[in-house]
Amino acid sequence: MKMGYLSACSIMLAGAALCTNQAAAETWRMSTKVPADSFEGKLHQEFADKVAAYTDGDVKIQIYPSEQLGDAQTVLEQVSSGIIDIFVDDVSYLNRFNEHITWTSAPFLFDDRPHWECFMSSDYFRDILGSIEENDNIGVIGDVGPFGRGFRVLVTKDEVNSFDGVQGLKLRLWDNQMMVDVWTALGTDPLVMAWTDVYQSLQTGIVEAVTSPAILVEPMKFYEVAPHIARTDEFNQANAYMINLDSWNAISEEDQQKVIEAYTEISAEAMEKIQATFDESLARMEKQGVTYMELDTAPFVEAAGVIYKQYDESGKLPAGFLEAVDAARTSCN
Protein backbone atom coordinates (compact mmCIF):
# COMPACT_ATOMS: atom_id res chain seq x y z
CA MET A 1 0.00 0.00 0.00
CA LYS A 2 1.28 3.47 -0.82
CA MET A 3 2.03 5.79 2.05
CA GLY A 4 -0.12 8.67 0.84
CA TYR A 5 2.00 11.33 2.57
CA LEU A 6 5.52 12.40 1.63
CA SER A 7 8.15 11.43 4.14
CA ALA A 8 11.83 11.41 3.40
CA CYS A 9 12.51 9.05 0.50
CA SER A 10 9.01 7.56 0.74
CA ILE A 11 7.79 7.92 -2.84
CA MET A 12 7.96 4.94 -5.14
CA LEU A 13 7.67 5.48 -8.87
CA ALA A 14 7.95 2.68 -11.43
CA GLY A 15 8.82 0.39 -8.56
CA ALA A 16 12.01 2.19 -7.50
CA ALA A 17 12.77 4.87 -4.93
CA LEU A 18 13.99 8.02 -6.61
CA CYS A 19 15.81 9.73 -3.75
CA THR A 20 18.94 11.30 -5.19
CA ASN A 21 21.90 13.31 -4.05
CA GLN A 22 21.34 16.92 -4.91
CA ALA A 23 23.86 18.30 -7.37
CA ALA A 24 22.85 21.94 -7.17
CA ALA A 25 20.54 24.22 -5.24
CA GLU A 26 16.87 23.94 -6.12
CA THR A 27 14.45 26.86 -6.29
CA TRP A 28 10.82 25.78 -6.04
CA ARG A 29 8.02 27.95 -7.38
CA MET A 30 5.07 27.91 -4.98
CA SER A 31 1.60 29.23 -5.82
CA THR A 32 -0.89 30.35 -3.18
CA LYS A 33 -4.37 31.87 -3.29
CA VAL A 34 -3.94 34.13 -0.28
CA PRO A 35 -2.39 37.60 -0.02
CA ALA A 36 1.22 37.72 1.12
CA ASP A 37 0.35 39.91 4.11
CA SER A 38 -2.43 37.64 5.41
CA PHE A 39 -2.02 35.32 8.40
CA GLU A 40 -1.52 32.32 6.12
CA GLY A 41 0.58 34.27 3.64
CA LYS A 42 3.05 35.19 6.38
CA LEU A 43 3.23 31.57 7.52
CA HIS A 44 3.95 30.42 3.96
CA GLN A 45 6.83 32.90 3.80
CA GLU A 46 8.08 31.68 7.17
CA PHE A 47 7.95 28.11 5.82
CA ALA A 48 10.03 29.19 2.82
CA ASP A 49 12.52 30.95 5.09
CA LYS A 50 12.83 27.90 7.33
CA VAL A 51 13.36 25.59 4.36
CA ALA A 52 16.17 27.78 3.04
CA ALA A 53 17.79 28.01 6.48
CA TYR A 54 17.43 24.35 7.44
CA THR A 55 18.80 23.12 4.09
CA ASP A 56 21.67 25.65 4.14
CA GLY A 57 20.33 27.18 0.94
CA ASP A 58 20.09 23.87 -0.93
CA VAL A 59 16.32 24.38 -1.31
CA LYS A 60 14.76 27.79 -1.80
CA ILE A 61 11.09 28.63 -2.35
CA GLN A 62 9.81 31.55 -4.42
CA ILE A 63 6.21 32.35 -3.46
CA TYR A 64 3.62 33.69 -5.90
CA PRO A 65 0.62 34.82 -3.80
CA SER A 66 -2.95 35.81 -4.69
CA GLU A 67 -3.30 33.43 -7.66
CA GLN A 68 -0.58 35.24 -9.63
CA LEU A 69 0.15 32.01 -11.51
CA GLY A 70 -3.50 31.18 -12.16
CA ASP A 71 -6.47 29.62 -10.41
CA ALA A 72 -6.20 26.41 -8.42
CA GLN A 73 -7.08 23.96 -11.18
CA THR A 74 -4.74 25.62 -13.70
CA VAL A 75 -1.91 25.62 -11.18
CA LEU A 76 -2.42 21.98 -10.20
CA GLU A 77 -2.14 20.89 -13.82
CA GLN A 78 1.19 22.70 -13.90
CA VAL A 79 2.28 21.11 -10.63
CA SER A 80 1.53 17.71 -12.14
CA SER A 81 3.65 18.53 -15.20
CA GLY A 82 6.44 20.18 -13.20
CA ILE A 83 6.03 23.75 -14.48
CA ILE A 84 5.13 24.82 -10.93
CA ASP A 85 6.60 22.95 -7.98
CA ILE A 86 4.12 23.52 -5.13
CA PHE A 87 0.51 24.58 -4.68
CA VAL A 88 -0.70 25.18 -1.14
CA ASP A 89 -4.35 25.12 -0.12
CA ASP A 90 -6.96 22.55 0.87
CA VAL A 91 -6.15 19.03 -0.32
CA SER A 92 -9.64 18.62 -1.79
CA TYR A 93 -8.45 20.64 -4.80
CA LEU A 94 -6.82 17.40 -5.94
CA ASN A 95 -10.31 16.26 -6.96
CA ARG A 96 -9.49 16.95 -10.60
CA PHE A 97 -7.17 13.92 -10.38
CA ASN A 98 -9.25 11.69 -8.10
CA GLU A 99 -12.86 12.68 -7.43
CA HIS A 100 -12.99 10.61 -4.23
CA ILE A 101 -10.87 13.19 -2.43
CA THR A 102 -13.71 15.67 -2.91
CA TRP A 103 -15.65 14.13 -0.05
CA THR A 104 -13.00 14.99 2.55
CA SER A 105 -14.55 18.47 2.62
CA ALA A 106 -18.18 17.35 2.57
CA PRO A 107 -20.20 20.06 4.37
CA PHE A 108 -21.70 19.21 7.76
CA LEU A 109 -20.58 15.56 7.70
CA PHE A 110 -17.78 15.12 10.27
CA ASP A 111 -18.57 15.48 13.98
CA ASP A 112 -15.62 17.73 14.82
CA ARG A 113 -11.98 18.33 13.92
CA PRO A 114 -10.56 15.28 15.78
CA HIS A 115 -13.03 13.08 13.89
CA TRP A 116 -11.93 14.60 10.57
CA GLU A 117 -8.21 14.39 11.38
CA CYS A 118 -8.61 10.73 12.27
CA PHE A 119 -10.26 10.10 8.90
CA MET A 120 -7.45 11.98 7.15
CA SER A 121 -4.90 9.60 8.70
CA SER A 122 -6.87 6.49 7.70
CA ASP A 123 -5.81 3.86 5.18
CA TYR A 124 -8.84 4.88 3.12
CA PHE A 125 -7.51 8.40 2.64
CA ARG A 126 -3.88 7.31 2.23
CA ASP A 127 -4.92 5.07 -0.64
CA ILE A 128 -6.52 8.04 -2.40
CA LEU A 129 -3.32 10.07 -2.10
CA GLY A 130 -1.29 7.07 -3.21
CA SER A 131 -3.33 6.86 -6.40
CA ILE A 132 -2.68 10.53 -7.15
CA GLU A 133 1.04 10.06 -6.53
CA GLU A 134 1.21 7.15 -8.93
CA ASN A 135 -1.00 8.53 -11.68
CA ASP A 136 -0.54 12.30 -11.50
CA ASN A 137 2.94 12.90 -10.08
CA ILE A 138 1.76 14.95 -7.08
CA GLY A 139 2.41 14.21 -3.41
CA VAL A 140 1.71 16.03 -0.16
CA ILE A 141 4.46 17.13 2.22
CA GLY A 142 3.93 15.69 5.70
CA ASP A 143 0.53 14.75 7.11
CA VAL A 144 -2.71 16.40 6.00
CA GLY A 145 -4.41 18.12 8.91
CA PRO A 146 -1.85 19.76 11.22
CA PHE A 147 -1.70 23.08 9.32
CA GLY A 148 -5.23 24.03 10.29
CA ARG A 149 -7.14 26.91 8.78
CA GLY A 150 -9.51 27.47 11.67
CA PHE A 151 -13.27 27.44 11.41
CA ARG A 152 -15.29 28.45 8.38
CA VAL A 153 -17.82 31.24 8.09
CA LEU A 154 -20.53 32.47 5.76
CA VAL A 155 -19.97 36.09 4.72
CA THR A 156 -23.12 37.81 3.44
CA LYS A 157 -24.34 41.16 2.15
CA ASP A 158 -27.55 40.82 4.19
CA GLU A 159 -27.66 39.22 7.62
CA VAL A 160 -28.32 35.46 7.69
CA ASN A 161 -29.19 34.07 11.12
CA SER A 162 -30.87 30.73 10.38
CA PHE A 163 -31.16 27.85 7.94
CA ASP A 164 -34.14 29.61 6.36
CA GLY A 165 -31.87 32.55 5.58
CA VAL A 166 -29.78 30.61 3.07
CA GLN A 167 -32.74 29.57 0.96
CA GLY A 168 -32.24 31.03 -2.52
CA LEU A 169 -29.00 32.74 -1.46
CA LYS A 170 -26.66 33.48 -4.39
CA LEU A 171 -23.53 31.79 -3.03
CA ARG A 172 -20.03 31.83 -4.46
CA LEU A 173 -18.39 28.41 -4.55
CA TRP A 174 -15.26 27.04 -6.15
CA ASP A 175 -14.93 24.43 -8.88
CA ASN A 176 -16.07 21.42 -6.87
CA GLN A 177 -19.20 19.66 -8.10
CA MET A 178 -19.84 17.90 -4.79
CA MET A 179 -19.83 21.22 -2.98
CA VAL A 180 -22.15 22.75 -5.57
CA ASP A 181 -24.52 19.77 -5.35
CA VAL A 182 -24.71 19.77 -1.55
CA TRP A 183 -25.19 23.52 -1.20
CA THR A 184 -27.83 23.40 -3.93
CA ALA A 185 -29.63 20.66 -2.02
CA LEU A 186 -29.39 22.84 1.10
CA GLY A 187 -31.37 25.49 -0.76
CA THR A 188 -28.78 27.99 -2.03
CA ASP A 189 -28.15 29.18 -5.59
CA PRO A 190 -24.41 28.56 -6.12
CA LEU A 191 -22.19 30.24 -8.68
CA VAL A 192 -18.65 28.98 -9.33
CA MET A 193 -15.94 31.61 -9.66
CA ALA A 194 -12.28 32.24 -8.86
CA TRP A 195 -11.39 33.32 -5.33
CA THR A 196 -9.88 36.57 -6.55
CA ASP A 197 -13.13 37.50 -8.33
CA VAL A 198 -15.24 37.27 -5.18
CA TYR A 199 -14.82 40.83 -3.88
CA GLN A 200 -16.03 42.47 -7.08
CA SER A 201 -18.86 39.95 -7.46
CA LEU A 202 -20.09 40.72 -3.94
CA GLN A 203 -19.75 44.42 -4.62
CA THR A 204 -21.82 44.27 -7.82
CA GLY A 205 -24.39 41.79 -6.50
CA ILE A 206 -23.47 38.91 -8.80
CA VAL A 207 -23.31 36.87 -5.60
CA GLU A 208 -24.71 37.65 -2.16
CA ALA A 209 -22.46 35.45 -0.05
CA VAL A 210 -19.23 33.48 0.12
CA THR A 211 -17.98 30.72 2.40
CA SER A 212 -14.48 31.32 3.72
CA PRO A 213 -11.95 30.45 6.37
CA ALA A 214 -12.65 32.99 9.10
CA ILE A 215 -9.11 34.35 9.11
CA LEU A 216 -9.26 35.29 5.41
CA VAL A 217 -12.30 37.58 5.61
CA GLU A 218 -10.29 40.64 6.62
CA PRO A 219 -7.24 40.24 4.33
CA MET A 220 -9.54 39.58 1.35
CA LYS A 221 -11.56 42.68 2.40
CA PHE A 222 -14.86 40.83 1.94
CA TYR A 223 -16.29 42.62 4.97
CA GLU A 224 -16.21 45.92 3.05
CA VAL A 225 -18.94 44.72 0.68
CA ALA A 226 -20.52 41.94 2.78
CA PRO A 227 -20.50 43.05 6.44
CA HIS A 228 -22.24 40.07 8.04
CA ILE A 229 -20.23 37.06 9.24
CA ALA A 230 -21.80 33.85 10.54
CA ARG A 231 -19.79 30.93 11.89
CA THR A 232 -20.88 27.67 10.27
CA ASP A 233 -18.10 25.13 10.90
CA GLU A 234 -19.16 23.95 7.46
CA PHE A 235 -16.24 21.57 7.17
CA ASN A 236 -12.73 21.14 8.53
CA GLN A 237 -9.79 21.99 6.37
CA ALA A 238 -6.06 22.41 6.45
CA ASN A 239 -3.36 23.79 4.23
CA ALA A 240 -1.54 21.08 2.32
CA TYR A 241 1.70 21.62 0.44
CA MET A 242 1.02 19.71 -2.79
CA ILE A 243 4.31 19.14 -4.60
CA ASN A 244 5.52 17.77 -7.92
CA LEU A 245 7.17 14.44 -7.15
CA ASP A 246 10.09 15.02 -9.51
CA SER A 247 10.87 18.22 -7.60
CA TRP A 248 10.62 16.36 -4.30
CA ASN A 249 12.83 13.51 -5.44
CA ALA A 250 15.42 15.90 -6.89
CA ILE A 251 16.57 16.87 -3.40
CA SER A 252 18.53 14.74 -0.97
CA GLU A 253 16.92 12.63 1.73
CA GLU A 254 18.47 14.91 4.34
CA ASP A 255 16.91 17.98 2.73
CA GLN A 256 13.55 16.20 2.48
CA GLN A 257 13.67 15.66 6.23
CA LYS A 258 14.46 19.36 6.75
CA VAL A 259 11.51 20.42 4.58
CA ILE A 260 9.20 18.19 6.62
CA GLU A 261 10.66 19.65 9.82
CA ALA A 262 9.86 23.17 8.58
CA TYR A 263 6.31 22.10 7.69
CA THR A 264 5.79 20.52 11.12
CA GLU A 265 6.92 23.68 12.90
CA ILE A 266 4.76 25.97 10.77
CA SER A 267 1.74 23.73 11.32
CA ALA A 268 2.17 23.89 15.09
CA GLU A 269 2.52 27.67 14.95
CA ALA A 270 -0.64 28.00 12.87
CA MET A 271 -2.74 26.00 15.32
CA GLU A 272 -1.33 27.95 18.27
CA LYS A 273 -2.05 31.39 16.83
CA ILE A 274 -5.11 31.00 14.64
CA GLN A 275 -7.87 31.72 17.17
CA ALA A 276 -6.11 34.77 18.61
CA THR A 277 -5.48 36.04 15.09
CA PHE A 278 -9.17 35.81 14.23
CA ASP A 279 -10.23 37.44 17.49
CA GLU A 280 -7.99 40.42 16.74
CA SER A 281 -9.24 40.55 13.16
CA LEU A 282 -12.89 40.45 14.23
CA ALA A 283 -12.36 43.27 16.73
CA ARG A 284 -11.00 45.47 13.96
CA MET A 285 -13.85 44.60 11.59
CA GLU A 286 -16.53 45.14 14.24
CA LYS A 287 -15.27 48.70 14.68
CA GLN A 288 -16.20 49.18 11.03
CA GLY A 289 -19.75 47.89 11.46
CA VAL A 290 -19.33 44.18 10.84
CA THR A 291 -21.72 41.83 12.65
CA TYR A 292 -20.75 38.34 13.83
CA MET A 293 -22.83 35.43 15.07
CA GLU A 294 -22.68 31.65 15.41
CA LEU A 295 -25.34 29.89 13.37
CA ASP A 296 -27.33 26.99 14.77
CA THR A 297 -26.00 24.34 12.40
CA ALA A 298 -28.30 21.51 13.56
CA PRO A 299 -30.74 22.08 10.64
CA PHE A 300 -27.80 22.07 8.20
CA VAL A 301 -26.43 18.82 9.65
CA GLU A 302 -29.87 17.20 9.53
CA ALA A 303 -30.52 18.26 5.93
CA ALA A 304 -27.03 17.24 4.82
CA GLY A 305 -27.39 13.84 6.52
CA VAL A 306 -30.42 13.09 4.38
CA ILE A 307 -28.48 14.10 1.28
CA TYR A 308 -25.50 11.86 2.08
CA LYS A 309 -27.75 8.90 2.79
CA GLN A 310 -29.40 9.37 -0.59
CA TYR A 311 -26.01 9.70 -2.26
CA ASP A 312 -24.84 6.48 -0.63
CA GLU A 313 -27.95 4.55 -1.65
CA SER A 314 -27.69 5.80 -5.24
CA GLY A 315 -24.01 4.95 -5.52
CA LYS A 316 -22.91 8.57 -5.81
CA LEU A 317 -20.65 8.28 -2.77
CA PRO A 318 -17.41 6.31 -3.17
CA ALA A 319 -17.70 2.71 -2.01
CA GLY A 320 -16.79 2.39 1.65
CA PHE A 321 -16.65 6.14 2.27
CA LEU A 322 -19.36 6.42 4.93
CA GLU A 323 -18.00 3.29 6.60
CA ALA A 324 -14.56 4.91 6.79
CA VAL A 325 -16.10 8.10 8.19
CA ASP A 326 -17.94 6.08 10.83
CA ALA A 327 -14.82 4.06 11.72
CA ALA A 328 -12.87 7.28 12.26
CA ARG A 329 -15.17 8.17 15.14
CA THR A 330 -13.43 5.56 17.30
CA SER A 331 -10.29 4.28 15.55
CA CYS A 332 -8.03 7.07 16.86
CA ASN A 333 -9.31 7.03 20.45
CA distance 250 to 83: 14
Q: Decide if 330 is inside a domain.
A: no
Category of 74 on φ-ψ map: left (φ > 0), alpha (ψ -120 to 50) or beta = alpha
CATH of the domain at 198: 3.40.190.170
**What is the mean pLDDT of the segment spanning 107-135?**
96
- The reported pTM is 0.86
Question: What is the pLDDT at residue 24?
Answer: 74
Question: What single DSSP character describes residue 318?
Answer: P
Q: What is the mean pLDDT of residues 156-166?
A: 98
134 and 266, same structural domain?
yes
Reply yes or no on whether the pLDDT at 73 is more than 80: yes
* Mean pLDDT, the chain, whole residue set: 93
Residues 222 and 244 in one domain: no
Whether 70 and 184 map to the same domain: the answer is no
Q: Based on the structure, what is the number of domains in the chain? A: 2
Residue 12 lies in a domain: no
Distance from C-alpha of 58 to C-alpha of 28, rounded to nearest angstrom: 11
By residue count, the chain amounts to 333
Residue 254 domain boundaries = 23-148+237-275
On whether residue 325 sits in a domain, the answer given is no
Between CA 291 and CA 195 the distance in angstroms is 22
